[in-house]
Amino acid sequence: MNYLPVNLKFLRREHGLTQQDLASKLGLKRSHIGAYEEGRASPKIAMLQQMAATFELSLDQLISTDLSVRNSAKGTQDTSLRILSVVVDSANEEMISLVPARASAGYLNGYADPEYMEQLPAFNMPVPELSRGKTYRVFQLKGDSMLPVQDGSYVFCEFVESIADMKDGQTYVLITRDEGLVYKRIYHQEEGRLLLKSDNPDYEAYQVEMNTVLEIWKADGVLSFNLPRANHLEISRLSDILAEMKNEIRRLGNG
């Protein structure tokens, strides 16, 4: 049996390496590591030898032995998320998958299934804000809990491999067993919990257990087709005027 996919994933995590870290060591693209770990592609013999040398193993150990069983008795908490499925183009370049609002319910069951991911729309976007070597995904939002990001907006996100890499106060798309797909501002709590807060004050914050989190995506940008109406601009300008008046009153008071 070929244990390379499970061994590569296990060894990378055991050595505290991200997919990009390992790719850099081996002179590969990050998408190649993802494909090897998912069994969607097989490295050439020269690359197998380089992998074995990197982890100080024989080829037989790397390919024919399940190395993960040697640490199966350890009870430490695993804060790493599972490796996701990605879509690549004919040049083996990783593409950006789009999860429309209508597909968000099915994503919870199919996100780890390569066949499901291949059915979603996918594209490339050559803009400098999206760095090469990272995995991106676009999620279409439902509801108004994160206003001013409006219902139907598309959130561009980058994959986060570990819960430990999350920063308090930033916005993320979370995939959880209980809540499904949600877009919230995240804060770490004690006893293995995360606090999820909406930017819309009409929605109450709530907590989720870290061990229910399946995927985490850090929000990098938003694409919206809901252009602001004229009255929205007037309200915004009025707020600016009021702020200027308050500052002027403070300056007069201090004088």
Helical segments of 19-133, H only: 19-26, 30-37, 45-54, 59-64, 104-110, 114-119
In a domain, 10, yes or no: yes
Name the CA radius of gyration of the chain, rounded: 22
Identity (one letter) of the amino acid at 19? Q
pLDDT at 77: 44
Do residues 114 and 35 share a domain?
no
pLDDT of the residue at 73: 37
In tens, the pLDDT along 199-211 reads 999 999 999 999 8
In the predicted structure, residue 60 carries a pLDDT above the cut 90: no
Strand partners, 207: 195
Question: For the segment 179-203, what is each residue's pLDDT rounded down to a tens digit?
Answer: 889 999 999 998 889 999 999 999 9
pLDDT at 228: 67
- Examine residue 36 and state whether it is found in any structural domain, yes or no: yes
pLDDT digit string, tens, across residues 62-96: 888 888 775 443 334 444 555 567 888 888 788 99
pLDDT of res. 192: 87
Whether 239 is covered by a domain: the verdict is: no
Residues 102 and 64 placed together within one structural domain of the fold: no
Q: Are residues 118 and 217 in the same domain?
A: yes
Looking at the fold, whether 109 and 47 belong to one and the same domain comes out as: no
Q: How many domains does the chain have?
A: 2
Q: Which of 189, 148, 150 is nearest to 166 (CA)?
A: 189
What is the domain extent for residue 203?
Answer: 96-223
Same domain? For 114 and 218 the reply is yes
Q: What is the CATH number of the domain that holds 67?
A: 1.10.260.40
Check whether residue 142 and residue 189 sit in a common domain.
yes
In the chain, beta strands by DSSP E:
96-99, 122-123, 136-140, 154-160, 171-176, 180-189, 193-197, 206-209, 213-223
Looking at the DSSP bridge assignments, the partners of residue 215 are: 175
Same-domain status, 144 and 178: yes
Is residue 216 a part of any domain in this protein? yes
Domain annotation covers residue 232: no
In a domain, 248, yes or no: no
pLDDT of residue 41: 86
In a domain, 135, yes or no: yes
Length of the chain, in residues: 255
CATH code of 193's domain: 2.10.109.10
Q: What is the pLDDT of residues 130-165, one digit of tens each?
A: 987 788 999 999 999 999 999 999 999 999 988 888
Per-residue pLDDT tens digits for 7-59? 999 899 888 888 999 999 999 999 999 889 888 888 888 888 889 889 988 88
At 227 the pLDDT is 77
Residues 111, 171 within the same domain: yes
Classify burial at 78, counting beta carbons within 10 Å of its beta carbon; exposed 0-12, middle 13-18, buried 19 or more. exposed
Q: Are residue 63 and residue 135 in the same domain, yes or no?
A: no
